[in-house]
Amino acid sequence: MKKIREATDKDMEVVYMMGYDVWGDNMLSQEYVTMCQGSSKYKKGKWYVLEETDTKELLSSLIVYELNLSEDLLVRGIGSIATPLHLRQKGYASILIEEVINKLEKNID
């Protein structure tokens, strides 16, 4: 069974490494993780993960930003969608995106 949840601080190194092969720019992996940990952009969003409940393996991740352009309009953006290389092409990112959008739509104030 799979579930979505907010990522915890403990998850973040795994989350960052999901996109290392694409966004790592020939950095060493620890250098890349350190850069992500220091990213002011990443600190502004809320991270979500898709987790396999039996094994607790993280299958995919994304970040949601609140982009309040005016007082009357709530705009959200989804970014940094990633899945570990060995788990790609299984639909995990699609499941996560769909479920996060459903969750955000239900929580509109």
Cβ proximity of 86 and 76 under 8 Å: no
Domain containing 7 — which CATH number? 3.40.630.30
Q: Say how many domains are in the chain.
A: 1
DSSP 70: B
Name the DSSP class of 10.
G
Q: What is the mean pLDDT of residues 100-108?
A: 87
The token pair that represents 81 in the structure block = 């969608």
**Full domain range(s) for residue 61:** 2-106
What per-residue confidence (pLDDT) applies to 59? 98
Rounded Cα distance, 33 and 53, in Å:
25
Q: Note the pLDDT of residue 108.
A: 60
Give the pLDDT mean for 26-34: 96
DSSP character at residue 9: G
pTM: 0.91
Buried b / exposed e across 14-50, counting CB within 10 Å, b at 16+? Answer: ebbbbbbeeebeeeeeeebbeebeeeeebeebebbbb
Cα gap 34→44, rounded to integer Å: 17
Work out the widest C-alpha separation in the chain, in whole angstroms: 44
CB atoms within 10 A of CB 67: 11
Among the ranges given (1-5, 54-58, 64-68, 84-88), the one the predictor scored with the smallest mean pLDDT? 64-68
In terms of pLDDT, which residue wins out, 108 or 109? 108
The whole-chain average pLDDT of the chain stands at: 93
